[in-house]
């Protein structure tokens, strides 16, 4: 019997009778359906569609034999509903549930742009698949098939295990641009749809004048759904092997992360020459954090190293990743801490204990304080409408040293601020503050032990009041819109007769900028109090044009009307008239630039200049930064540095990359990189020459060649 219709939908009664009651029926649609084998089968031709939820099969022609539990599809076969992506074949033979079968000329997409193709494919009922004469790649394929993908894995046999979520290869070879470069009798990697699987990661390789040839082989171990470990032995030709590891665990209320390294070795110089004594050398970084309730948390952070050169010696970063701990380590410093803190809509509280390890060669850890502990609590009250807000806070700090001053402080503060806007747009922001401090010091340095005390206690009460007034003007223009805003502030602060008895621990260094210029309290901590009267003034200007053109400029200064200087000479606030503060920026399409400078009021010398320029175009991207701290009052002398990086696209896929950091005072290039990069939709290859000259102890200049290879979905080979 021949049926002809544009969309004929019929239910297979034989299958419906034989199938279990909980199985859905099969629906067949086609241009033509022919009854064959005496009513025991069908042939469907033309726009054939077979559906059994959740699967759909499309083909030019389908034979269906219900008694044999067999479906044969031929011509432009597409299977939908077996996974996230369609599957394609020239010919397919399936069971009647469309779940298991064999395909000829098979191809399919996978997660993360992965692609698999095979001469033949076998699908099992559990969803696993076996491919013969197959390949896998994450690269886009040419429609004409004339060009090989950037990379692909070929194999005699490939098994995609649905239960293990792994892909296994036999007689595998890696092809780059169609040429075989690696061979392995067996090979395996995680299915791109799999989130976490144990196994070897891509190695990390490099060549260094200090360490020699470096090969690090990481192994990733999934201990449980909530924790994993990376174990990575590192082999180096110039020095003893090193073991590196990472550990992560997630809890219902938090997490813990640890990383570290260990070796036993002599000290080494930039050429890998051993000297000194053999010793255990290690580092450990990590942290953890747990929620106590929706508002409060507790956690820890650890950063320790066996010596101040271990991290740089073995090319580990001295800056640990941010894990949420409240205290961030400064340059060449490590910090270990334990903390509790919480925040609500109106309050904030914290309790922190911390210990520091300095990595600087001329610093003494015995004189670096331990925070044991520091505590703070603040609560903000909202005053009646129009009367601003009132903030109350208490703070305490206990500092202990093995050698040096022991320091205790307790403070209580009440701070009021308001913001009023007048009729013509004048913004008035009055403020007032009252504070009480109590200090206790021990082990004070003395000139005459017979008469000078080694301990002291000081109590003081302080207060200030003032206001900030600004008046922004807006003008719309034909070519640009302008905002001009003059700003002035006045502060009157009480005297501090006991200032000479206070040991300054928390306000050792400040750098005057636009935001600090108008602050009522410009000291970053509690120990320094800026007494007397002062006025600050400045002008902010903003221009906006086109769709994304913005330029900003600020010029300002502060003048002390009475009172003594309390900040150091390099702060910009030593003289009665502060340094001029100038800050500007411009954003124009792919181009942006920023400048910040401080200019001495009398000599007009530039005490600080920081200029950065960035461009992010289609063929060229890069940035340049110039830093000049030429303030004669800076004890370390002038510091001038020029740094920059770039990437230039030479063709669609090839580009040149570079980086340089130059110390202009010492005429030393601290770091330079130059390399070639290839990048496309599925891979990135970098070959980079790097030279470092950090000038730290025995670590002189070192040179290295780094290979960074990333095959998307498979992994990367990198020295980092």
- Higher model confidence: residue 122 or residue 460? 460
**CA torsion sign, 494 to 499 to 501 to 505?**
positive
Segment 23-33 mean pLDDT: 81
Task: Note whether 160 and 141 are within 8 A (CB).
Answer: no
- The separation between the first and the last C-alpha atoms of the chain, rounded to the nearest angstrom, is 70
Using CA atoms, how far residue 692 sits from 443, 625, 707, 709, in Å, is 42, 19, 17, 22
pLDDT mean over 327-338: 91
Domains of the chain from N-terminus onward: 2-197 (2.60.450.10), 414-589 (no CATH)
Q: What does residue 614 show for φ and ψ, rounded to 5 degrees?
A: -135, 145
Q: Is the pLDDT of residue 488 over 50?
A: yes
pLDDT over 60 (residue 205): yes
Q: Which one, of 247, 337, 349, 249, lies nearest residue 293 by Cα?
A: 349
pLDDT one-digit tens code per residue, 382-421: 888 888 999 999 999 999 999 889 999 999 999 999 999 9
* DSSP string for residues in 108-156: EE-GGG-EEEEEEEEE-TTS-EEEEEEEEE-SPPPSSS-S--SEEEEEE
Residue found under tokens 């599809």? 73
Low-confidence winner among 184-198, 344-358, 656-670 (lowest mean pLDDT)? 184-198
For residue 329, the 8-state DSSP code is: P
Residue in this structure with the two tokens 């011509």, named with its chain if needed: 75
Which of the pair, 200 or 580, is modelled with greater confidence? 580
Confidence of residue 141 (pLDDT cuts 50, 70, 90): confident
Helix (H) or strand (E) run with residue 232 in it: strand 227-236
User: How long, in residues, is the chain?
Assistant: 720
Block residue for tokens 């730290």? 696
Average pLDDT over residues 190-201: 76
Both tokens assigned to 381: 């009250």
Q: Which pLDDT score, from 0 to 100, does residue 602 have?
A: 87
Cβ count within 10 A of residue 695: 12
Determine the Cα–Cα distance for residues 491 and 471; give it in Å rounded to an integer.
Answer: 19
Confidence check: pLDDT of 650 > 50? yes
Q: Which pLDDT band, with edges at 50, 70 and 90, does 4 fall under?
A: very low
How far apart CA 49 and CA 66 sit, in angstroms, is 16
Once rounded to an integer, what is the mean pLDDT over residues 666-683?
Answer: 92
Alpha-carbon span 443 to 459, nearest angstrom: 18
Q: Tokens standing for 639?
A: 């510091």
713 or 6: whose pLDDT is higher?
A: 713
Model pLDDT, residue 144: 64
Residue with tokens 């997660």: 111
At 391 the pLDDT is: 96
Cis peptide bond upstream of 373, omega within 30: yes
pLDDT band at 635 (very low <50, low <70, confident <90, very high): low
- Is residue 706 a contact partner of residue 690, using CB atoms and an 8 Å limit? yes
Interatomic CA distance for residues 384 and 182, integer angstroms: 75
Average pLDDT of 95-105?
77
Query: Sorting pLDDT into bands at 50, 70 and 90, what band is 22?
Result: very low
Query: CA nearest 614: which of 647, 641, 569?
Result: 647
Taking the CB of residue 305, how many other CB atoms lie within 10 A of it? 21
Whole-number Å distance between alpha carbons of 660 and 244 = 29
Q: pLDDT category, 504, cuts 50, 70, 90?
A: very high
Task: Please tell me the distance from the alpha carbon of residue 154 to that of residue 134, in angstroms, as a whole number.
Answer: 6
Residue 700 has pLDDT above 80, yes or no: no
How far apart are the C-alpha atoms of 177 and 678, rounded to whole Å? Answer: 13
Contact 465, 487 (CB under 8 A): no
Least confident of 254-263, 563-572, 618-627: 563-572
pLDDT at residue 446, rounded to an integer? 78
Q: Both tokens of residue 211? A: 């360490």
Supply the pLDDT for residue 9: 29
What does the alpha-carbon distance between residue 291 and residue 298 come to, in Å, rounded to a whole number?
A: 7
Is the pLDDT at 253 greater than 80? The verdict is yes
SS3 per residue for 55-117: EEEEEEEEEEECCCCEEEEEEEEEEECCCCCCEEEEEEEECCCCCCEEEEEEEEECHHHCEEE
CA gap 577, 592 in Å, rounded: 32
Q: What is the pLDDT of residue 17?
A: 30
Element holding 14 (H helix, E strand): helix 13-18
Q: What is the mean pLDDT of residues 574-590?
A: 94
CA distances for 600 relative to 192, 489, 570, 608, angstroms: 60, 21, 11, 9
Distance CA 357, CA 368 (A): 8
Q: Residue 717's pLDDT is what? A: 64
- pLDDT score of 21: 38
- Residue 212, pLDDT > 60, answer yes
Tell me what the pLDDT averaged over the chain comes to.
Answer: 88
Its pTM surpasses 0.85: no
Q: Which residue's entry shows tokens 């289609």?
A: 618
**What residues does 355 pair with on adjacent strands?**
336
Q: How much of the chain, in percent, has pLDDT values that exceed 90? A: 55
Residue 15: the pLDDT is 28
Phi (first) and psi of residue 304, to 5 degrees:
-140, 150
* CB-based burial, 123-143: b 16+ in 10 Å, e otherwise: beeeeebbbeebbbbbbeeee
Assign 651 to helix, strand or coil.
coil
Q: Give pLDDT, residue 214.
A: 93
Return the closest-CA partner of residue 88 out of 98, 104, 77: 77
Cα dihedral: 688, 691, 692, 693 (round 10): -170
Q: Which residue has the higher pLDDT, 364 or 635?
A: 364
Residue 437 and residue 535 in contact, taking contact as beta carbons nearer than 8 Å: no
Asked whether residue 497 carries a pLDDT value surpassing 50, the answer given is yes
SS3 501: helix
For the ranges 293-302, 318-327, 559-568, 695-704, which has the lowest average pLDDT?
695-704
Q: Which helix (H) or strand (E) holds 18?
A: helix 13-18
- pLDDT over 90 (residue 373): yes
- Give me the pLDDT at residue 228, please: 95
Question: Under 8 Å CB-to-CB from 547, ≥6 apart: which residues?
Answer: none
450 pLDDT band, cuts 50/70/90, is: low
Q: pLDDT category, 191, cuts 50, 70, 90?
A: confident
pLDDT at 633 over 60: no
Residue 631: burial class (beta carbons within 10 Å; 0-12, 13-18, 19+): buried
C-alpha 613: how far from its chain's center? 22
State the maximum Cα–Cα separation within the chain, in Å, rounded to a whole number. 122
pLDDT at 449 over 80: no
pLDDT, position 23: 60
């Amino acid at each position: 019997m021949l049926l002809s219709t544009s969309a004929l939908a019929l239910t297979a009664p034989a299958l419906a009778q034989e199938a279990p009651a909980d199985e859905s029926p099969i629906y067949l649609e086609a241009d033509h359906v022919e009854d064959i084998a005496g009513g025991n089968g069908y042939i469907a031709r033309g726009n054939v569609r077979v559906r059994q939820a959740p699967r759909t099969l499309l083909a030019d022609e389908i034979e269906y034999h219900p008694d044999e539990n067999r479906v044969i599809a031929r011509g432009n076969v597409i299977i939908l509903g077996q996974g996230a992506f369609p599957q394609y074949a020239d010919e397919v033979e399936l069971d009647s549930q469309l779940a298991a079968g064999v395909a000829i000329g098979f191809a399919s997409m996978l997660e993360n742009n992965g692609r698999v193709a095979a001469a033949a494919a076998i699908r099992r009922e559990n969803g696993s698949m076996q491919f013969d004469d197959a390949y896998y790649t994450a690269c886009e394929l040419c429609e004409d098939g004339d060009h090989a993908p950037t990379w692909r894995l070929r194999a005699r046999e490939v098994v995609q295990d649905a239960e293990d979520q792994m892909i296994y290869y036999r007689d595998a070879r890696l092809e780059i641009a169609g040429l075989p470069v690696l061979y392995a009798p067996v090979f395996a990697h995680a299915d791109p749809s799999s989130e976490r699987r144990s196994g070897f990661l891509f190695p990390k390789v490099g060549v260094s004048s200090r360490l020699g040839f470096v090969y690090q082989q990481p192994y990733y171990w999934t201990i449980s759904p909530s924790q994993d470990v990376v174990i990575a032995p590192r082999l180096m030709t110039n020095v003893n092997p090193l073991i590196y590891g990472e550990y992560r665990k997630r809890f219902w209320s938090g997490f813990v992360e640890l990383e570290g390294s260990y070796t036993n070795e002599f000290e080494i110089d930039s050429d890998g020459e051993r000297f000194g004594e053999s010793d255990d050398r290690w580092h450990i970084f990590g942290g953890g954090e747990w929620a106590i309730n929706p508002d409060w948390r507790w956690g820890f952070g650890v950063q320790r190293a066996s010596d101040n050169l271990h991290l740089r010696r073995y090319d580990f970063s001295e800056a640990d990743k941010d894990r949420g701990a409240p205290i961030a380590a400064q340059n060449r410093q490590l910090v270990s801490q334990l903390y509790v803190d919480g925040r609500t809509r109106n309050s904030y509280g914290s309790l922190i204990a911390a210990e520091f390890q300095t990595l600087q060669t001329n610093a003494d850890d015995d004189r670096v304080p331990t925070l044991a502990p520091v505590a703070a609590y603040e609560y903000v009250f909202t005053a009646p409408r129009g009367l601003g807000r009132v903030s109350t806070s208490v703070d305490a700090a206990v500092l202990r040293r093995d050698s040096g001053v022991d320091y205790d402080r307790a403070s209580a503060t009440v701070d009021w601020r308001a913001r009023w806007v007048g009729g013509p747009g004048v913004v008035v922001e009055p403020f007032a503050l009252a504070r009480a401090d109590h200090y206790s010091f021990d082990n004070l340095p003395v000139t005459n032990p017979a008469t000078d005390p080694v301990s002291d206690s000081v109590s003081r009460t302080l207060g200030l009041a003032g206001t900030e007034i600004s008046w922004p003007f807006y003008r719309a223009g034909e070519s640009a819109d302008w905002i001009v805003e003059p700003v002035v502030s006045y502060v009157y602060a009480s005297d501090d007769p006991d200032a000479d008895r206070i040991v300054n621990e928390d306000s050792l260094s400040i750098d005057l900028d636009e935001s600090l210029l108008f602050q009522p309290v410009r000291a970053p901590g509690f120990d320094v109090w800026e007494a007397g009267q002062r006025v600050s003034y400045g002008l902010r200007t903003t221009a906006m044009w086109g769709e994304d053109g913005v330029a900003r400029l600020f010029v300002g200064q502060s003048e002390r009307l009475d009172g003594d200087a309390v900040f150091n000479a390099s702060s910009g606030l030593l003289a009665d008239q502060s340094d001029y503060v100038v800050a500007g920026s411009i954003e124009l399409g792919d181009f942006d630039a920023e400048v910040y400078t401080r200019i001495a009021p009398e000599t007009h010398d530039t005490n600080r200049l920081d200029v950065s320029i960035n461009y992010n175009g289609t063929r060229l991207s890069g940035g340049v930064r110039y830093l000049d701290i030429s303030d004669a009052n800076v004890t370390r002398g002038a510091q001038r540095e020029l740094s920059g990086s770039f990437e230039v696209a030479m063709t669609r896929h090839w580009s040149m990359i570079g980086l340089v950091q130059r110390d202009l005072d010492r005429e030393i290039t601290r770091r330079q990189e130059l390399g070639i990069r290839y990048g496309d939709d599925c891979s990135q290859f970098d070959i980079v020459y790097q030279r470092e000259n950090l000038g730290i102890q025995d670590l002189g200049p070192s040179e290295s060649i780094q290979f960074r290879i990333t095959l998307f979905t498979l992994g990367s080979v990198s020295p980092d």
